[in-house]
Structure 1
Amino acid sequence: MIVKRQAIKLIFGAGALMLVGQLLMLRLLRPPVPFRLEPVSQFVNVTAAIPLPIILLDRAVLTQLSDMCPFCNLQHPVAFASLYKHIHEVQSLQSVLDASGFKSTILLNTLPVEPAAPKVVRDVPTGFLIAKDGVVIHLVLLHERADSYWWFGAVQSDFGIKQKLLDFGLPGHAPTLDIMIDEGAVDRFKGVLVEVQGLNLMVPSSINLYLEQRSSDHFIECSHSRAAAFFDEFGDDDSSEALKFKHKAWKLLTTAKQVLDQLNIPFWLSSGTCLGYYRQCDLITYSKDVDLGIMASDYSTNLIPEFQKRGFKLKHVFGRINDSFEISFVYDDLKLDLFFFYREGNSIWNGGTQAKSGLKFK
C-alpha cells in the first residue's frame, strides 16, 4: 500500500513538473504584446502643454529610429529625460499626470553609492516611473555636474525602490530599465526634433555619439570621505600658485579630452593624476603635470598633429609604438604626459623612459 501511494505521488509530481514546463514553453513561444503608443502620446502632449522639455533617450528606440515602427517591439519601460533644473515643471507634471489617469512615483537618491557624495546629489529626485494602460514610462532627471556633463542616479539608490518597481509591474530585484541601472554620466548634447510614429520627439542630435557614450557611461563618484580624511591629516594647499595650477590643469584636461574624443581614442587618468582623484578627489598641485593613459592599440597617426592644432607643443617622444611608447606635450606651461599601455596575456603594462638618463622602466 505504501509503495502504491509513493508511486501515485511520483506520478502526480512528474505530471505537475510537465505542466509547469509546458506553461513556460507556451509563455516563451507566445508572441510579445505589441507596445501601446497611446499612453506615450498622451505623456508627450502633457509635457508639451506644461511646458516641460523632454528628450527620448531609449536606446532600443533610437537604434531603430529609421524603421517604420521603432516602438512596436519595445518590451521595457520607455526612457525619456529632462533636466533637473526644470524640477518645478516636473513637479507640475506629476500632478497633471495623476489628474489624467496616469500613475506616477518619484525616485530619490536617498542611498547614494558614495555616502559622502556632494550635497547637490544627495536625497535629490533622480527620476520618475509613470504608467497608464500597462505602459511604463521612465523619466530620468539629468543633473548638471561641472560644466560639461550630465549625471544621472541609480535606481537602487532609492530606499524603497523594490516596492516601487513591483507596484509598476517590474521585477524588484533586476529592473528591466534602459538607464539608471548604475550611476552614469554623459557629455552634454543638443537635441533635434524628429517625427517618430506620428509623435514629434526630441532626440540627441548625434544618436551614434550618444549610444557610444552610453556603452561606457558608468559613473564612479570619488571617495569624498577618503579625501576629507586626507585633508584632515595633511591639509589642503589653497595658495594662489596651487589654484593657478588647478585652473590651468582643468583647462588642459578639457582640451585634451576634446582632442581624444574627436579621434575616438579612449583614455583614462594615469599615474599622479589618477592618484589625486583616488586619494583627494582633486589634482596634486605639486605634481605640475597631467598624466593620461591610452591603449597602444588605439594610437592614431593623427594624434600628434591634432594636439598641435589645439595649441599643444610637442616636448618629446620616447619608445616605439609597440614598446614603451610615451608622448609629452606642453600646454600653457603645463606638461601633458600620454602613457601607452600594452596587453600581454591577462596583464596590462606600460613602460616609461627617464628623460635625463634615458633609462627605461616597465
Structure 2
Amino acid sequence: MSRISKNVILVLLTLTSSAFLLFQLYYYKHYLSAKVTFFPSFSLLNIILAIYLPNILSFCKSRIGFDGTQWRAVKKFIMLTSSQNVPVFLIDPLILELINKNFEQVKNTSHASSTSECKFFCVPRDFTTFALQYQLWKNEEGWFRLAENMGFQCLKVESKDPRLDWIDSLSGTEIPLHYICKLTSHAIHLVVFHERSGNYLWHGHLRLNGHIDRKFVPFRKLQFGRYPGAFDRPELQQITVDGLDVLIPKDPMHFLEEIPHSRFIECRYKEARAFFQHYLDDNTVEAMTFQKRAKELLQLAAKTLKKLGVRFWLSSGTCLGKILLVSNKNVEDSLELSFQGKDDVKLDIFFFYEETDHMWNGGTQAKTGKKFKPGKCQLHPS
C-alpha cells in the first residue's frame, strides 16, 4: 500500500471518529442530560476522549518516521532494484546489528503483520549499505539510467580487475566496484562483490580519483571501501523490516564478525613476474602436484579451524629477532601442531598469544630445550 493511500485512510478514520463523537455528544445533550443531572456536562466528553484519543494518537505516532529521509531513500532503492530483478542484500553494520538483536521477532514478521513503527531504517545515519554479487547483475547500464530517472544522483567507481593483472593481454580491464546513489540528504552505498578463485567474495578499494566530487557525500563515514575486503559467500534470507522486504545474510552475526578481519592483501603480481623471470618457475608435474596438494591442505585446515571458531592466518615465521626466556617453564607457549597431508605435504600450526598491543608465539630449541619468544611484533591478520 502506498504512502498516499495510508494517509487517506488515516484522514477517513479521524473524520469517522470525530463524527461518531459528535453524534454521542448530540445524543447526550438532547436525550440523557435531563435524566442524568448528577453527571457534569463535560464528563461524557472526557470519557469519550479518554477512550478514543489514545488510539488516534497511537496510530498517528506509529506513522512517524515512515516519511523520514532514510526510510524513503531505502524504499525507493528497493523498488528500483526489485523492478530490475537486481538481488541486492543488506550489509549495513548498524542496521544488521539492530536486526540481530531482535532477530527472532524480525524473522517471524510477515509483510502483512509488519508493525507500523519504524525501528530500523529510520535510525539517523548518512548511508545505508547494500551489496550485490556482480555475476548476478544482468542489466547494469539500464539500472543506472533508471536510478537517475527516479531522482537518485549516482556515482560509479571503477578500477582495474586485479584477477587479470597477471595476464598481460587483459591487464587494465576495468570493473565496477562501488555505486553511491544519493536521494536528497541520504545516500545508498552499493558494494559490488566479485567472485575470486578461492570461492569467496571480494570488493575493491573505493579510490577518489581526480574527477570525483569530494563533497558529493561524506566519504570518510563509509563503512566499506577504505581498503579491499574478502568475505565468505553468505547464504541469504528474505525478511520484512519496517514494512520493506529485504535480503540479509542468514547469519547476521557471522557477517558482522567478519568485517573487522576482512581486509584483503592483493598478490604483488609485478614482483612475482619479475621473480619468475629471474628464477624460472618450476612447472614440472611434481611441483604442480605439490602446489595443488599444499593448497588443498591449507584450505582444509582453514575450514576446520573456522568451524572451531579459531582465527587462522599465514605466518612468515620471522618476527624481527628473538628474545631468550631462560626462566620460562611453560610448555604450551611453544606448542606446535604438525599435520601430514598426502604424499609428504606437511602443515605446521603455531599458537599465538595476544597481549595488549601485540601477539607472540613461543619456540623451544630441540637440542638444548631453551625457550625463545618473538619480540614485540605488531601482527594484523587479514
Regarding TM over 0.5, the answer is yes
Q: Which amino acid is 2:191 matched to?
A: V
**Counterpart of 1:105?**
155
Distance 2:124 2:261 in 1: 23
Residue aligning to 1:62: 96
TM-score (norm 1): 0.68
How much has 1:340 moved relative to structure 2? 2.0
* Partner in structure 2 of residue 248 of structure 1: 293
CA separation in 1, counterparts of 2:166 and 2:231? 18
Out of 314, 319, 338, the residue aligned to residue 349 of structure 2 is 338
Give deviations 1:287-340, integer Å, cap 9, x for gaps: xxxxxxxxxxxxxxxxxxxxxxxxxxxxxxxx9653311111112232111122
Q: Aligned partners of 2:354 and 2:142: how far apart in 1? A: 53
Distance in structure 2 (CA, Å) of the matches to 1:121 and 1:184? 20
Question: Counting strand residues as a fraction of each chain, which structure ranks higher?
Answer: 1
Partner of 1:53: 87
Shift of 1:350: 2.9
Structure possessing the higher radius of gyration over alpha carbons: 2
**Equivalent of 1:326 in 327, 333, 336:** 336
Cα distance in 2, alignment partners of residues 347 and 83 from structure 1: 35
- Contact residue 74 and residue 121 of structure 2 kept, 8 A: no
Report the CA distance between 1:249 and its aligned residue.
1.2
Q: After superposition, give the CA deviation of every residue in 1:183-242 in whole Å (9 maximum; x if it has no partner).
A: 111111110101110111000011111001111111111211221121111011111111
Indicate the residue corresponding to 1:286 in structure 2: none
Give % identity.
29
> Relative to structure 1, is the Cα distance of residues 321 and 71 closer, same or farther in structure 2, using a 3 angstrom cutoff?
farther
Q: Residue 93 of structure 1: CA displacement? A: 1.1
Q: 1:102 to 1:233 in 2, by over 3 A?
A: same
Task: Tell me the TM-score normalized by structure 2.
Answer: 0.65
Deviation at 1:153, TM superposition (A): 0.9
Equivalent residue, structure 2, for 1:95: 145
Matched, 1:143 2:188: no
Distance between the aligned counterparts of 2:78 and 2:303, measured in 1?
A: 34
Deviation at 1:259, TM superposition (A): 0.9
CA gap 1:320/1:253 in 2 versus in 1, 3 angstroms:
farther
Q: Distance in 1 between matches of 2:350 and 2:306?
A: 17
Partners of 2:250 and 2:211 in 1: CA distance: 32
What SS does the corresponding residue of 1:247 show, helix, strand or coil? helix
Picking from 178, 191, 216, the partner of 1:127 is 178
Paired position in structure 2 for 1:22: none
1:113-262 aligned within 5 A: 123-156=174-207, 158-160=208-210, 162-163=212-213, 165-166=214-215, 168=216, 170-171=217-218, 175-262=220-307
Q: Is the 8 A contact 1:34 1:73 kept in 2?
A: no
RMSD (CA atoms):
3.1
Specify the code of the residue in structure 2 equivalent to 1:256.
A
How many pairs does the alignment contain?
Answer: 277
Query: Are 1:40 and 2:74 an aligned pair?
Result: yes
Question: Which ranges of structure 1 fall in alignment gaps of 5 or more residues?
Answer: 1-32, 275-318
Query: Per-residue displacement from partner, 1:12-48 (whole Å, max 9, x unpaired)?
Result: xxxxxxxxxxxxxxxxxxxxx9543122112111211
2:334·2:361 contact (CA, 8 Å) conserved in 1?
no
Q: Secondary structure at the match of 1:328?
A: strand
1:116–1:224 contact (8 Å) kept in structure 2: yes
Q: Residues of 2 paired with 1:96 and 1:36: CA distance? A: 20
Task: Identify the residue that residue 362 of structure 2 maps to in structure 1.
Answer: 350
Q: Measure, in 2, the Cα distance between the counterparts of 1:58 and 1:146.
A: 26
Q: Is the 8 A contact 2:293 2:342 kept in 1?
A: yes
Counterpart-to-counterpart distance in 1, 2:95 and 2:211: 25
Query: Would the aligned equivalents of 1:324 and 1:350 in 2 still touch at CA under 8 Å?
Result: yes
Q: Deviations over 1:341-360 (max 9, x none)?
A: 34578672431555xx6866
